[in-house]
């Protein structure tokens, strides 16, 4: 009987603790990732640095980048234009961390006049810092839009 009472009390405390855990607004993370891609569109490397942690890591189709190496890769292609369309967001956020998955479609026009459209499935993780939310990890894998 004591075991049953302790189990019920423990469960009650756990449920009460879960209810008291605060969460932040998922839209903040969505806006952050959308601003990150606006930064790429505008080649605004200061904005990209501001939106990411100092230890930010980007995994893209088997390549591993940090901000400096990613910026160097982007600079190789300047001038170019790109427009991103992000959709199908699935977001989790608590008080200090968050993660999301989404689809990303990009239309590129390169300096030689070449055009390319690409689709990715992406995931990102976030940390709340003293300066607000920052993205600390981004993973991009090209996807076949015909496969869902």
Per-residue pLDDT of 58-89, as tens digits, reads 999 899 999 999 999 888 888 899 999 999 99
Tokens of 27: 């839209």
pTM: 0.81
* pLDDT tens sequence across 82-124: 999 999 999 999 999 999 999 999 999 988 889 999 999 999 9
In the CATH scheme, what architecture does the domain 25-142 have? Answer: Roll (3.10)
Contact (Cβ atoms closer than 8 angstroms) between residue 66 and residue 56: yes
What are the extents of the domains in the chain? 25-142
Instruction: Check whether 6 has a pLDDT greater than 60.
Output: no
First and final CA of the chain: distance in angstroms? 51
Measured in whole angstroms, the distance separating CA 112 from the mean position of its chain's CA atoms is 30
pLDDT at site 14: 53
How much of the chain is helix, strand and coil, in % rounded to 5? 35, 45, 20
């Amino acid at each position: 009987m004591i075991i049953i009472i302790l189990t019920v009390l423990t469960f009650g405390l756990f449920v009460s603790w879960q209810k008291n855990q605060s969460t932040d607004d998922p839209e903040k993370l969505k806006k952050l990732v959308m601003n990150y891609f606006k930064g790429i569109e505008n080649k605004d490397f200061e904005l990209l640095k501001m939106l990411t942690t100092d230890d930010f890591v980007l995994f893209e189709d088997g390549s591993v980048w940090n901000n400096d190496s990613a910026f160097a890769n982007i600079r190789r292609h300047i001038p170019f234009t790109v427009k991103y369309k992000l959709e199908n967001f699935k977001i989790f956020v608590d008080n200090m961390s968050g993660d999301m998955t989404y689809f990303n479609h990009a239309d590129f026009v390169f300096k030689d006049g070449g055009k390319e459209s690409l689709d990715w499935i992406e995931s990102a993780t976030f940390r709340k810092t003293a300066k607000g939310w920052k993205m600390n990890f981004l993973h991009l894998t090209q996807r076949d839009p015909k496969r869902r």
